[in-house]
Structures are given as structure tokens and as C-alpha cells.
Amino acid sequence: MEKRWITPPPVDGRLANQLAAELEISPLVARLLLARGISDAAEARVFLSPSLDDLHDPFLMAGMEPAVERLQEAVRSGRPIMIYGDYDVDGITGSALLYRALAEFSPQVSCFLPNRARDGYGLAKAGIDEAGRRGAGLLLSVDCGITAHAEVDYARSLGIDCIITDHHETKESLPRAVAVLDPKRQDCPYPYKELAGVGVAYKLLQAFYRSNSLPDSKLEEHLDLVALGTIADIVPLTGENRILAKFGLQRLRQSLKPGLMAMLEAAGLGGRQLESSHVVFIIAPRLNAAGRMGDADASLSLLTTEDRDHALAVARRLEEENRRRKEVDDRILTEAMAMVEGGLDLSRDRVIVLASDSWHQGVIGIVASRLVERYFRPTVLISVDGDLGKGSARSIPSFHLHQALKDCSRHLVGFGGHKYAAGLVIESGSIGPFREEINRLARQTLSNEDLVPTQPVDAEVDLDGLDQEVA
């Protein structure tokens, strides 16, 4: 598909020269920084030479003090703590991070990952019941829970306190948890809003370590996990995410965690110079495969084990799961494209909404992303099982998916997510009306130009302006 180039606005040459002189960089690099909205020398230094010291104070996040106090109390009491993570790479790495860090303070730490097909997305009653069976007094959510009002109330009725760590869009009110950590909270003054779920979990641990007068250096051993979850979740690699990804990739290259070593070896990446593209296209699909095809526990086991033989066996299993996932993925994509080409009028349908009772709900999110790449339309795919459908949605920059689902919520049983990706539950009989309403909204908000992919251009430069200094 042809792209529409977005040329940058004119850059203030005087400001570019001033920035170049102050930072001792080429004027072209200074222009590139200005084009990306970086005009302050201090901010530019962080961008060009990031340091872990540039991470924000975790106590700036709303809810952090009560979260740390309750976590301290749980460790002192010796009562079990259960970590409840989402089943994607962000949730799995965040769960492994919390488990590895907190297990050094308490032997009574365990994890629970919901089954996608059985439990659905987010905090589920079955998981809370499991926390009760384990005798947990505290439940820590990772990458989920921000809209789980009823589930948090249910946990409270069982005598289980909850600390929610999430990064998804919030609703008007928050669950009645002991603490809710989410930089997207409307009342949260935290300077950086784009952390992944594993990033929010890392900030909680940062605060916990500091409250125990422990150096961040001990926690930094686990930045490999933080980088995996952050990069895999496709959050913007700006600000803190860029710092966490940079130093986490360095850790990943030299990680001594048996599971990470086994996975890199199985994927043919052992000894390679790792980049973010390796995480997105090679590592993340393997970690996601188990949760997409059934149970994510294997991936969590891989990231928490200290047994190399076990790690190698699990890594081989994930290779096989990923092969199966690709086969299912390709079949659904072929069927979905046939439905688009054979039955949709894309001049009218600005949002692609497709449903089938033969689609594996664990894979439709990947297929939705591939349809967005092909047709550049917001896309909702729904896996139907009897009277209920579970959907995954992906979007384009000009269409705020979470807001659109909110505006169509009368047709939905439930939904959650953010601007570019979301999940939903819908009654089968409501799929048609939902399709009509979300397309009506799209026709009101999306211009023809919005439906053409863009290629941002940072600067126009003559060939003789590209030299060794710029490289």
C-alpha cells in the first residue's frame, strides 16, 4: 500500500545551531531532535545518552505509598502473596519480574495466569478463588485489573486485599483496591504515561526496594524481563520505555536466567547482538504462543525456572506451540481476507468487523493486526461460541479504539484496552448492530486521508549533508 509522506514543519535554524553547539553535535542531528519535539538540551542529552539515573522517582506515581506499605506488611506477616498476571508477554514478564524479586523477601509468593479460553481477559473470579485456596492475603495484579470493580470487591469479601498494577485506559472510577498503580489514572502526576504493564510493576519494585534501603542495582538484574515485556507490548519507545529497553536489551544479551538462555538458543539467537526487532518478531511470538493456544503457564515457568534441563524442554515446547499458532494464524487470515474481499464495501465500511465460530480466540488479535497492515482500517475480529463472542480489535492512528468502544458500549457485554488495541465481549445477536454503530462513528471521524498510511519524515537533506559525523 502506498504511503503518504508527512514532511516536518520548518525548523528554527537559529535554535538548531544553538542546540548543536551546546551538545557538540552536527546541525543535522540537532534538526532531527527538534523535528521530534526535543528542544531542551537536558532532554536531548537523555535521548542521546540515556542513563538509568534518568528514570523518574517511583513515588511520583499515584497510589505508590499505600501500595508499598501494604506490600511491606504482607512480607512481614509471612502470609501468602499471589501475583495475578495477564497471559500476554507483558503480563507474563511482569509476573516473572515480581515473583523473582519478591521471592527474595518471602517464600510465600506464587503466580497465577488465567486461561484465555476458560477465564477470559483480566481479573477473573476463578483466579480470586484460587488466591483464597492458597490462603493469600494480598493479590498483586500485573497488566490487568484497572476496570475490575466487581472482582476487587469479591476479593475483599474473601479477606483478600488487592494492589492493581496496570497501564490500560481507566474508567471514571477506580476499583476499591488498597492501591491502584496506573500512570493513565486521571489524578496521577507521574511524568511518563506510556509505561507497559511490566514497567509499572518495575516502578512498584523500585519503590519497594528504596523503602527497604536497597540499591536499584540489585533490581536491575531483572531489566531483561522488563525490556522483553515493554518491547513486545509495542508501547512507544520514548522516555522511560526507551531507557528500560536499552539497558534491558543489554542485560538480555548476557542474561544468566536459564529460561532466557534456552529460549534464545532454541530461536537461533544465542550469542547474537539483540535488537528490539528480535523481541517483536522472534522472541515475543514464542512466549505468547502458549497463552494463545491454551495455557500461558509454560512461558511463566520458562522465565522463573533455575533448572536448565527444564528450561530447554519448555523452550522446545514453545517452539512447537508457535509452529501450531502460525498454522492457525494463516488459516484465519485467509478466511478473513476472503470475507473482506467478497462481502465488504470498504468505501462504506471504515471499520472491518468480522465474526466466525471457527476462529481460535487466542490468535484473532494477531490476524486483526495483519488486516490493519493490509487494508489500513480499524479491525475487529470476533470468535463466536454459542450466544457469546470474544473479540480482539486493532486500530490506526486516527481512530481512538478505546473511545470508540466506549461510545458503542450499549452493544457490548464488556471491553478494555487503549487507543490502538482492545478486547471485547459481545452477545452474538449484537454483532450486527455493533458493526453498524462503530462504522457510523468512523464515517463521522475518519477522512479519506486518514485511511492512507503515513510515512513521517524527520528532515529533508542533501546527499552531501550525510557524512561520517552524522553516521
What pLDDT shows up at residue 37?
A: 86
Q: 57 by DSSP, 3-state: which?
A: coil
Query: For the CA atoms of the chain, what is the radius of gyration?
Result: 23
Task: Please count the other Cβ atoms lying within 10 Å of the Cβ belonging to residue 40.
Answer: 12
What pLDDT shows up at residue 343?
A: 84
Q: For 414-459, how does the pLDDT look when each residue is reduced to its tens digit (9 = 90+)?
A: 998 889 999 999 999 999 999 999 999 999 999 999 999 999 888 8
What pLDDT shows up at residue 471?
A: 61
Q: Which helix (H) or strand (E) holds 30?
A: helix 27-35
C-alpha 204 chain-centroid distance: 17
For residues 223 and 175, give the distance between their C-alpha atoms in angstroms, rounded to a whole number. 29
Q: 181 by DSSP, 3-state: which?
A: strand
Rounded to 5 degrees, what are φ and ψ at 193? -100, -5
Length of the chain measured in residues: 471
How would you classify the pairing of strands 138-142 and 161-165? parallel
Contacts of 418 (CB under 8 A, 6+ apart): 167, 168, 169, 184, 401, 402
Q: For 117-162, how does the pLDDT look when each residue is reduced to its tens digit (9 = 90+)?
A: 787 778 999 999 999 999 999 999 999 999 999 999 999 999 999 9
Q: Which helix (H) or strand (E) holds 141?
A: strand 138-142
For residues 218 and 21, give the distance between their C-alpha atoms in angstroms, rounded to a whole number. 38
Contacts of 124 (CB under 8 A, 6+ apart): 114, 151
Q: 190 by DSSP, 3-state: which?
A: coil
CA distances from 73 to 63, 67, 105, 137 (A): 16, 10, 12, 10
What pLDDT shows up at residue 448?
A: 93
Residue 382 grid cell: 470476533
Q: Enumerate residue ranges in the chain where pLDDT < 70.
A: 469-471
Handedness of CA 277, 283, 286, 291 (dihedral sign): negative
Threshold 0.85, pTM exceeds: yes
Cβ pair 158, 139 in contact under 8 A: no
For residues 394 and 365, give the distance between their C-alpha atoms in angstroms, rounded to a whole number. 7
For residues 99 and 85, give the distance between their C-alpha atoms in angstroms, rounded to a whole number. 11
Q: For 290-313, how does the pLDDT look when each residue is reduced to its tens digit (9 = 90+)?
A: 888 878 999 999 999 999 999 999
For residues 159 and 231, give the distance between their C-alpha atoms in angstroms, rounded to a whole number. 36
What pLDDT shows up at residue 469?
A: 66
Long-range contacts of 313-317 (CB under 8 A, 24+ apart): 314/259, 314/262, 315/259, 315/262, 315/263, 315/265, 315/266, 315/286, 316/266, 317/290
What pLDDT shows up at residue 1?
A: 74
Single-letter residue type at 161: D
Domains detected in the chain: 58-313 (3.90.1640.30), 344-455 (3.10.310.30)
Cβ pair 428, 389 in contact under 8 A: yes
CA distances from 43 to 48, 183, 272 (A): 9, 20, 31
What pLDDT shows up at residue 461?
A: 80
For residues 305 and 321, give the distance between their C-alpha atoms in angstroms, rounded to a whole number. 19
Interaxial angle between packed helices 308-343 and 284-293, expressed in degrees from 0 to 180 and rounded to the nearest 10:
80
